[in-house]
């Protein structure tokens, strides 16, 4: 099981622009000794510098590698078809509800919430996942703006119905609703990837 510190660490790395995947290699003592990032784009230099700074805060001895994502179209099509994708997230101000539409393997799930955009985005996303027929044994603890940085990303905290650690997701988009929905999917990405394999 991943520790809360490692989860925060991974979350920071995944929030970097262009990061597609994050991997860890552990020493015999269980400490992170190497971090590998897969990124979209060819200019990995600036990202490597920032990643090394983040890694050094958590694991000063760990090495960092940054690889450019290879453009293998057959792999991309397969991966795209097996992921839960956010199609749209809208707030109806006249009727006062949020609606989120997700797609998984050609199936569409729609979720609604009567809460405002910040909380409603997360609630409607969980509802849409259940509408897709996916078992999502989590409930929303919080959905908050991080007002300490430009653009105000949203952090969503979900609590499992079992006695496991909370899951956290972070996202920054054009609206609070979209950020909240994306942060919810970010919090569940490991769980969902096991469900849809």
Q: Nearest 5 degrees, angle CA 167-CA 186-CA 113?
A: 85
Beta strand ranges found along 9-92 (DSSP E): 19-26, 32-39, 63-68, 85-92
Inter-axis angle of helices 176-187 and 117-131, nearest 10: 50
pLDDT of residue 80: 42
Closest alpha carbon to 166 in 129, 139, 186, 127: 139
Residue located via tokens 């044994």: 137
d(CA 87, CA 182): 11
Q: Length of the chain in residues, anyone?
A: 197
pLDDT of residue 149: 60
Query: Within a 13 Å sphere around the CA of 159, how many CA atoms are in the beta-carbon half?
Result: 6
d(CA 87, CA 102): 5
pLDDT of residue 178: 92
Residue ranges for the chain with pLDDT beneath 50: 1, 71-81
Closest alpha carbon to 190 in 113, 138, 153: 138
Q: Give the chain's largest Cα–Cα span.
A: 58
Which pairing describes strands 154-160 and 138-145: parallel, antiparallel, or unpaired? antiparallel
d(CA 74, CA 85): 18
User: What's the distance, CA 118 to chain centroid?
Assistant: 16
Closest alpha carbon to 139 in 164, 114, 116, 117: 164
Residue 157 structure tokens: 């905290």
Residue 61 structure tokens: 């001895």
Domain boundaries for CATH 3.30.160 within the chain? 74-195
The 10s digit of each residue's pLDDT in 52-73 is: 888 888 888 889 888 886 544 3
The 10s digit of each residue's pLDDT in 168-189 is: 999 888 888 999 999 999 999 8
Fold of 4-71: GMP Synthetase; Chain A, domain 3 (3.30.300)
160 contact partners, CB below 8 Å, separation of at least 6: 137, 138, 166, 167
pLDDT of residue 118: 92
The CATH number of 74-195 is which of 1.10.3470, 1.20.120, 3.30.2170, 3.30.160? 3.30.160
């Amino acid at each position: 099981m991943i520790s809360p510190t490692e989860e925060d660490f991974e979350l920071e790395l995944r929030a970097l622009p262009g990061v597609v995947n994050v991997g860890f290699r552990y020493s015999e003592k269980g400490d992170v000794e190497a971090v590998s990032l897969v990124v979209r784009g060819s200019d990995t230099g600036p990202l490597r510098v920032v990643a090394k700074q983040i890694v050094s805060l958590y694991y000063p001895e760990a090495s960092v590698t940054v690889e450019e994502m290879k453009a293998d179209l057959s792999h991309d099509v397969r991966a795209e078809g097996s992921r839960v994708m956010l199609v749209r997230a809208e707030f109806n101000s006249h009727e006062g509800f949020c609606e989120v539409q997700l797609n998984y393997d050609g199936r569409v799930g729609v979720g609604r919430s009567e809460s405002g955009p910040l909380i409603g985005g997360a609630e409607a996303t969980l509802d849409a996942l259940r509408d897709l027929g996916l078992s999502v044994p989590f409930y929303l603890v919080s959905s908050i703006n991080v007002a300490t940085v430009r653009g105000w990303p949203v952090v969503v905290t979900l609590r499992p119905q079992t006695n496991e650690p909370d899951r956290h997701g972070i996202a920054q988009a054009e609206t609070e609703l979209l950020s909240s929905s994306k942060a919810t999917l970010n919090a569940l990405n490991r769980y969902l990837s096991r469900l849809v394999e």
